Amino acid sequence: MLIFTKIDELQYFLVQKKAEKKSIGFVPTMGALHAGHISLINSSKKSCDLTVCSIFVNPTQFNDKKDLERYPKTPERDLEMLKKAACDIVFMPSAQEMYPEKDERVFDFGYLDKILEGDHRPGHFNGVAQIVSRLFDIVKPDKAFFGSKDYQQVMIIKALVELLHYTTEIVTCPTLRDPDGLAMSSRNTLLNAKEREVAKIIPKLMQEAKSLKDKGKDVTEIKEHIVSELNMRGNYELDYFTICDARTLKELKSFSEAKEHIALIACYVGKIRLIDNISLN
Ligand code: PAF
């Protein structure tokens, strides 16, 4: 496994591989890797000749400084996991390397970066777009792999690909879950044992939303039920629980307004913000 920290050295290496007609799969991460990330590496390895994984905690996508400071950093463990997964190339740049100057670009995603996560984390998706476009410019991947836990992020990245005319194919991979159902996330390691017990109610409620839909309940009834379940339990601070058109992420009042439906949740357990989603089709 090759490790690069400098942009020009990685580019020099990749240009040669591209000349040899090797296809490049890319898995951008912020480190603190878990089995979900490794499943993205495995997907890339299955369909591309070479897999590049980046590890970079991108400061421009954190609207809350404390969240950035708290974000788990486990570089040695990450490298071990990537080596075991037979990842070919790791890119671990410094902040100075990625942002020698302040990135002033503002992307226009219309309503998409202003709702849900964008509403609760202003500027977050602009920061994601800044770093992903920089990484795409460096790696020029044939395919890039993202987890569907970050459903809105995947939509933003697809919009970015259109906006900047990238030829990279965006591959969305399923969310991996721990045995208790909690969606795998680097942030889960920050939960203490008590909070972890509380957090596992999230996937249960998402499943409940799905079975209520299957039983014929409409959007308002499901929302009221889930929110009141959360309120009853306490220990949560809900940012949103909502049901949307899965293609546009526009909020629904009734299932009849769209063909594909998705329920999305974001809430704090203690100081840790968790997100999850479930397809209701
Ligand atoms: O999903 C993440 O880990 C990050 O948002 C990403 C895509 C690596 C950009 O920093």
pLDDT tens-digit readout, 97-119? 999 999 999 999 999 999 999 99
Query: Boundaries of CATH 3.30.1300.10 in the chain?
Result: 191-274
Residue 98 CB-half CA count within 13 A: 24
From CA 275, how far away is CA 124, in angstroms rounded?
14
Q: What is the pLDDT of residue 7?
A: 98
Question: In sequence order, what are the residues at sequence separation of 6 or more whose Cβ sits closer than 8 angstroms to the Cβ of residue 222?
Answer: 209, 212, 213, 243, 263
Q: What is the CATH number of domain 191-274?
A: 3.30.1300.10
Tens-place pLDDT, residues 190-203: 999 999 999 999 99
Instruction: Using DSSP, state whether 241 is helix, strand or coil.
Output: strand
37 is catalytic: yes
Of 71, 153, 161, 171, best ligand 1 pocket probe by most atoms within 8 Å of the beta carbon: 153
Q: Residue 170 — left, alpha, or beta (φ > 0 → left; ψ -120 to 50 → alpha)?
A: beta
d(CA 195, CA 32): 19
- 113 and 126 Cβ atoms separated by less than 8 Å: yes
Question: Bridge-partner residues for 183, per DSSP?
Answer: 177
Whole-angstrom Cα distance, residue 161 to residue 42? 23
Q: In which residue ranges of the chain is pLDDT below 50? A: none
Q: Is the pTM for the entire model greater than 0.95?
A: yes
**Which of 128, 160, 274, 275 for a ligand 1 pocket mutation test, highest count of atoms within 8 Å of Cβ?**
128
What's the confidence (pLDDT) of residue 42?
98
Start-end of CATH 3.40.50.620 domains in the chain: 2-173
Cα–Cα distance measured from residue 91 to residue 35, given in angstroms and rounded to the nearest whole number: 19
Determine the pLDDT at residue 235: 85
Bridge partners of residue 54, in order along the sequence: 28, 91
What are the structure tokens assigned to 41, written together?
Answer: 């590496």
Q: Are 30 and 55 in contact (CB under 8 A)?
A: yes
Give the active site residue among 37, 124, 225, 261: 37
CATH number 3.40.250.10 is the correct assignment for the domain at 2-173: no
pLDDT at res. 132: 99
- Token pair, residue 202, equals 């999230």
- Asked if 23 and 50 touch (Cβ cutoff 8 Å), the reply is yes
